[in-house]
Homo-oligomer: A and B are copies of this chain.
Amino acid sequence: MPQTLDQHALFTGLALPPGGPLYLRLRRWIEAAIAGGALGSGDALPSERDLAKRLDLSRVTVRKAVQELVRDCVLVQRHGSGTFVATTPPRVEQSLSRLTSFAEDMARRGMPVTSFWLERGLAAASPEEMAALGLAAPSQVARIARLRLSGELPLAIERASLSSAILPDPQAVGTSLYAHLEARGHRPVRAVQRIRAVGIDSADAQLLELPAGAAVLQIERTSFAASGAALEFTRSIYRGDTYDFVAELSLGDQHGELRK
């Protein structure tokens, strides 16, 4: 049996904060209800129709406020079910000054890790892959894509491309790509990582259980063999709300120089 409107804890003091457009006032009102404890993690909000009726707004206006909070991962909406206060997973830290595998990294902090193959096969190289790997046209590449999870929580998408000359049989790759490469005599000695913030596209958003457009870290890594040839190009997407990359810098006497 659903609560009646008047019983809902939200409506004990029901004045929208002043100033600006209605949807922003409603947004602040909801944020305040969460900050003030009237709504806790996982709690259901009243339905959009109830909110609209109770606050004398149109449903469109209510939706605009709610949508912004969904985009910012404050609320979660489930089609057919309702709108809920998001349960924010604890943040995860990863060192930037080490090149470690995802599995090692999570094991070190005692988190159960699973991963899910999204793709593992050979394909014609895209122009981007050819440029990143220094391939001559037209070539085949091995593609290895995984969804990484900690327990039930999706954390990252990793998409690696390698020349089929380096990795002719991608199906043989097990839990660690690096271990597989090393076993075949391909050891990276150098890597370049490029980190940027992007809004996630809707396909990847679904995999990571995020709203489309949410801020995520995109990390592109190209690793090189001793010969100087590019071994691997990986583009990874890490959830911005759960992942922190940590870099520790030791400073020498020359201003601005990294020592260690």
Query: Which residues of A come within 8 Å of B, CB atoms?
Result: 60, 68, 71-72, 91, 93, 96-101, 104, 178, 182, 187-199, 213-217, 223, 238, 240, 243-251, 255-258, 260
Contact = CB atoms under 8 A, between A and B. Distances in A.
Contacts of A72: 199, 213
Given A246-B192, A250-B189, A251-B191, A240 B99 contact: no
A249 B190 contact: yes
B215 A199 contact: yes
Contacts of A71: 199, 213
B190 A247 contact: no
A187 to B, nearest CB: 8
Contacts of A98: 256-258
A40 to B, nearest CB: 22
Contact of A195 (B60, B96, B248): B96
Given A190-B248, A192-B249, 13 more contacts: A71-B213, A96-B96, A96-B195, A97-B258, A104-B256, A190-B249, A195-B217, A195-B244, A195-B247, A196-B245, A197-B243, A198-B240, A223-B251
In the complex this chain forms, how many copies of it are found? 2
A197 B217 contact: yes
A194 B97 CA distance: 12
Contacts of A216: 197, 215
Nearest to A193: B247
B245 A194 contact: yes
Contacts of A197: 197-198, 215-217, 238, 240, 243
Contacts of A199: 71-72, 214-215, 240
A258 to B, nearest CB: 5
Contacts of A213: 68, 71-72, 213, 215
A97 B199 CA distance: 25
A188 B255 CA distance: 9
